[in-house]
Structure 1
Amino acid sequence: MNKEEKLERMRSGAWLHAIDPEIGEELLRAEELCHRLNALPPSHREEREAVLRELLGATGRTIVIHSPFHCDFGTQIAIGEGFVGNYGLTILDEGPVTIGDHVFIGPGVGIYTVVHALLPGQRNEGIMRSRPVTIGNDVWIGGHATILPGVTIGEGAVIGAGSVVTRDIPAGVLAVGNPCRVVRPLTESDRIAPAELE
């Protein structure tokens, strides 16, 4: 099996032995690019954007990711327009991570697609699989939330700080907790009145 076939098997969600020199090359590539990004001053916006576009699979025209940022491959991350990722965002993208337009992610958030074997002997051999994560348009994920493998978060949802998202969250709701649960729908009563903005 060549490198592309191994990576495609990993992306597909099939179990595989992931301790592999060719997979390791791709991990090292992403680690080097993350290191380069995180070493650049915030004022070097054009350079930072160039590194992000080299690192990530797809991005919108405008993207802001504050350092430090870490990911496993980068190439399996697709981000839409107007993305803001705050300090300490980690995305382990063994599987595809698809993020829509105008998504805000708070500090210290982890998005994970990798599932390791439960039995120690197999886990130590590097047996793992991946499950994709999908985040819809206009989602806000509060600080230190954890998004687990296989989760879809619907358009316009808000995930409360510190939540652990273990299952799909529908569109247009406020969801919080560990495990994360829907609290209520978001409605016009959540709109901030103009008088409060003066």
Structure 2
Amino acid sequence: MREEERIFAGKLFDARSKELRDIKHKAHILCQKFNTLDEYDENRLSIIKEFIGGIGEKYYFQGPIQFNYGVHTYIGENFFANFNTTILDDGRIYIGDNVMFGPNVSLMATSHPLIPEERVAMKYKDGHVSMSEYAEEIHIENNVWIACNVVVCGGVHIGNNVVIGAGSVVIKDIPDNYLAYGNPCKPIRLITEKDSKLDLL
């Protein structure tokens, strides 16, 4: 079984294997390229499509950005990400339509074992010592706003029309239509018509 197959099978995998490093390297180099370009450079946004698993036609990343694999992330239409988006997409990440990220949002679809010997001393037949990881998917549905400095951990499902408040750490699922915040992040209340700001027009 290849290391990438181990990721998707929910097994421990060796993040330092050449197979995985080669996949990540492409995304890392292209993120570096993206981050050096002026935000008005017409070639900037097309770089995303060179390493992403899939993305809609309308999207914007303010930058800088950092993806770990890129090819494990799938994003819908009309996506916006503010400064310093970090996506560790060892596990697959699915993002719906009309999703907005504030500054410093991190999606962390990977983790390490808690027991140190399992984390740094897993020996393969050839004697190689790995840095073991395992990964769970992240699912973010449509019309979601994730505010600044939020961390979303692997295994989380964020429902439709959700707002995640600034500074939250999301470790459990959030149901549709909720305002949620905190560390750990919890659903606080439903978003209703009373939250309308149309009067500000």
What whole-Å deviation, never above 9, does each CA across 1:36-78 have from its counterpart, x for those lacking one? 111111011x311211011111000111011110010000110
Q: Which residue of 1 aligns with 2:191?
A: 186
Q: Is the 8 A contact 1:115 1:129 kept in 2?
A: yes
Residue ranges of structure 2 left out of the alignment (5+ in a row): 121-129
The AA in structure 2 aligned to 1:29 is K
Percent sequence identity over matched residues? Answer: 36
Task: Specify which of 3, 6, 23 is matched with residue 6 of structure 1.
Answer: 3
The AA in structure 1 aligned to 2:170 is V
Q: Secondary structure at the match of 1:47?
A: coil
Paired with 2:63 and 2:9, the residues of 1 have a C-alpha distance of 30
The 5-angstrom pairing of residues 96-135 of structure 1 reads 96-124=92-120, 125-135=130-140
Greater fraction of residues in helix: 1
The 5-angstrom pairing of residues 64-83 of structure 1 reads 64-83=60-79
Task: Specify which of 141, 164, 169 is matched with residue 159 of structure 1.
Answer: 164
Task: Specify which of 30, 44, 60 is matched with residue 48 of structure 1.
Answer: 44
C-alpha deviation, 1:127, in angstroms: 1.3
Paired with 1:9 and 1:63, the residues of 2 have a C-alpha distance of 31
The AA in structure 1 aligned to 2:48 is L
Q: Secondary structure at the match of 1:94?
A: coil
Q: Say whether 1:24 aligns with 2:24.
A: no
Q: Say whether 1:90 aligns with 2:86.
A: yes
Q: Which residue of 2 aligns with 1:33?
A: 30
The AA in structure 2 aligned to 1:62 is K
Q: TM-score, normalised by structure 1?
A: 0.94
C-alpha deviation, 1:121, in angstroms: 2.5
Paired with 2:59 and 2:200, the residues of 1 have a C-alpha distance of 29
Paired with 1:132 and 1:107, the residues of 2 have a C-alpha distance of 22
Q: Which moved more, 1:48-57 or 1:81-90?
A: 48-57
C-alpha deviation, 1:191, in angstroms: 1.2
Aligned length: 192
Q: Which residue of 2 aligns with 1:196?
A: 200
What whole-Å deviation, never above 9, does each CA across 1:123-181 have from its counterpart, x for those lacking one? 12311110000000000001000000100000000000000001000010000100001
What whole-Å deviation, never above 9, does each CA across 1:74-123 have from its counterpart, x for those lacking one? 00110000000110010000011000000000000110011111122221
The AA in structure 2 aligned to 1:10 is I
Q: Secondary structure at the match of 1:95?
A: coil
Paired with 2:102 and 2:49, the residues of 1 have a C-alpha distance of 21
C-alpha deviation, 1:19, in angstroms: 2.0
